[in-house]
């Protein structure tokens, strides 16, 4: 059985190498909370760092989109990753909260240079080459290489952090981002210059937003799915590094062990998606599958409040976190079937903008609650938030909901 289709590597080898290499040494997301706690930041302050990143995402999404239109997606993506890598590396030189806050804001700006443009670059290129059949292969390989890379990242990260300390995560991640960007220089691009003005971009965005809001109001299943997505974003934020990491540290979990824990969870995430279709079939369709899986996850999350043993908390973490990707995939399938094709991209953008806006508020709130009432109680709140999500899915009624 061939892993790659005909000419797939010939057309896409630079982007594949870049994704794999960039994931293997992408240490930042695994250890950043631990580092900032080590230098004296509260969980509330760490929440504000994430908030600054998302604020920049929203403010600069349109202006940086113009750069991609004028100079090409390739230029935009490579520039974004290089600048983001530099900003990431600079974090190691300061312990001042406000300087680091500014660097997170800059990282958010540079992220907008790559978001959307990276995938559009490859998809447009493959369409130009008349190889639409490779688009699915690209997305599949992207997920596989990133997951495999993160498995190795956790192991390598724990080894390096154990020897040199947590400060190393920033230069390693930053330099890796820069080198990954350099590798993609060899990736071909199909680009036609678009003469675009920011003013026109804003008008286009407002026009699309109005159409999307009108469509949402008149499509009850999609509206329920939208509310479920917002609540899910909140619940997921209540069960991220700002809560799990402090909880495990309070129970005696050592810093260098976190990399191994993340590696193990990514191994589970690689395996679990292959069981989605048979489980969906067993439960009688995607809707029933989502209701049952979310209910099970809510029960597990609520039980965290009563778990006082480190081993039990590790087991709960290893089950709860991969479940998010399990029903995240299923909810995406549900979305694709409920929304009509012509407005799918616009509705998707509204969903993404809404969740980004929600993240700006929720991250500092979660940090504050973890500081004041404790991480286990904060995680418990996530389970309560998931309860209305279950009822939202129960009330979704559409002839377009797939059974499998």
Query: Tokens representing 384?
Result: 């309560």
Q: Is 374 left (phi over 0), alpha (psi -120 to 50) or beta?
A: left
Specify the range with the lowest mean pLDDT, choosing from 66-70, 234-238, 284-288, 363-367. 66-70
CA 347 to chain centre: 18
Q: What's domain 204-404's superfamily in CATH?
A: MFS general substrate transporter like domains (1.20.1250.20)
Is pLDDT of 334 > 80?
no
How far is 146 from 26, CA to CA, in rounded Å? 10
Is pLDDT of 403 > 80?
no
**Residue 24, CB half-sphere, CA atoms under 13 Å: how many?**
9
**Straight-line distance from the first to the last Cα atom of the chain, in angstroms, rounded to the nearest whole number:** 26
| CATH assignment, 10-187 | 1.20.1250.20
Query: Tokens representing 365?
Result: 């709130």
Residue 339 has what DSSP assignment? S
How far is 43 from 47, CA to CA, in rounded Å? 6
Burial 43-55 (b: 16+ CB within 10 A, else e): bbbbbbbbbbbbb
Specify the range with the lowest mean pLDDT, choosing from 40-44, 339-343, 353-357. 339-343
Residue 349 pLDDT class (50, 70, 90 cuts) = low
Specify the range with the lowest mean pLDDT, choosing from 201-210, 237-246, 257-266, 327-336. 201-210
CB 360, CB 319: distance < 8 Å? no
More confident residue, 351 or 364: 364
How far is 262 from 253, CA to CA, in rounded Å? 13
CB 11, CB 188: distance < 8 Å? yes
Residue 67 pLDDT class (50, 70, 90 cuts) = confident
Output the pTM of the full model.
0.86
Give me the pLDDT at residue 156, please: 95
Domain with CATH 1.20.1250.20 in the chain: 10-187, 204-404
Q: Which residue has the tokens 């965005």?
A: 205
Is pLDDT of 222 > 70?
yes
CA 11 to chain centre: 26
Helix (H) or strand (E) holding 119: helix 117-128
How far is 132 from 327, CA to CA, in rounded Å? 27
DSSP code per residue over 161-206? HHHH-GGGHHHHHHHHHHHHHHHGGGS----------HHHHHHHHH
How far is 40 from 365, CA to CA, in rounded Å? 19
How far is 375 from 46, CA to CA, in rounded Å? 14
How far is 67 from 193, CA to CA, in rounded Å? 10
pLDDT in tens, 101-124: 999 999 999 998 887 778 778 888
Query: Tokens representing 265?
Result: 């969870």
pLDDT in tens, 236-290: 999 999 999 999 999 999 999 999 999 988 888 777 777 777 888 888 888 888 8
**CB neighbours (10 Å) of residue 315?**
13
pLDDT in tens, 6-39: 888 899 999 999 999 999 999 999 999 999 999 9
Largest CA distance in the chain: 60
């Amino acid at each position: 059985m061939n892993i790659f289709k005909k000419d797939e590597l010939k057309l896409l080898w630079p982007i594949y190498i870049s994704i794999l290499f960039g994931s293997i040494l992408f240490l930042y997301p695994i250890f950043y909370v631990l580092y900032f706690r080590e230098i004296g930041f509260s969980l509330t302050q760490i929440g504000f760092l994430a908030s600054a990143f998302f604020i920049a995402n929203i403010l600069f999404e349109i202006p940086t989109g113009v750069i991609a239109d004028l100079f090409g997606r390739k230029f935009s993506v490579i520039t974004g990753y290089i600048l983001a890598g530099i900003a990431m590396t600079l974090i190691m030189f300061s312990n001042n909260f406000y300087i680091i806050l500014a660097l997170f804001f800059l990282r958010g700006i540079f992220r907008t240079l790559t978001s959307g443009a990276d995938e559009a670059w490859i998809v447009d290129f493959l369409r130009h080459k008349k190889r639409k059949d490779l688009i699915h292969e690209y997305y599949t390989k992207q997920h596989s290489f990133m997951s495999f890379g993160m498995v190795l990242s956790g192991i390598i990260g724990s080894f390096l952090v154990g020897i040199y300390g947590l400060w190393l995560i920033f230069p390693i991640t930053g330099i890796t981002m820069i080198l990954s960007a350099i590798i993609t220089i060899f990736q071909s691009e199909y680009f036609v210059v678009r003469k675009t003005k920011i003013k026109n971009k804003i008008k286009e965005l407002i026009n699309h937003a109005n159409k999307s809001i009108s469509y949402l109001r008149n499509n009850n299943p999609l509206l329920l799915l939208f509310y479920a997505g917002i609540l899910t974003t909140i619940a997921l934020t209540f069960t991220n590094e700002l809560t799990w990491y402090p909880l495990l540290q309070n129970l005696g979990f050592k810093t260098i062990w976190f990399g191994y824990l993340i590696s193990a969870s990514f191994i589970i995430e690689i395996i679990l998606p292959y069981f989605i279709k048979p489980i969906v079939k067993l439960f009688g369709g995607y809707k029933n599958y989502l209701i049952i899986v979310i209910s099970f996850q809510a029960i597990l999350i609520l039980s965290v409040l009563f778990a006082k043993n480190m081993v039990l908390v590790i087991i709960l973490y290893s089950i709860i976190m991969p479940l998010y990707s399990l029903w995240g995939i299923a909810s995406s399938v549900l979305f694709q079937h409920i929304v009509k094709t012509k407005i799918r991209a616009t509705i998707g953008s509204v969903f993404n903008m809404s969740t980004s806006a929600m993240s700006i508020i929720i991250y500092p709130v979660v940090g504050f609650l973890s500081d004041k009432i404790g991480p286990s109680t904060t995680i418990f709140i996530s389970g309560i938030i998931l309860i209305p999500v279950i009822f939202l899915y129960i009330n979704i009624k559409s002839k377009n909901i797939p059974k499998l």
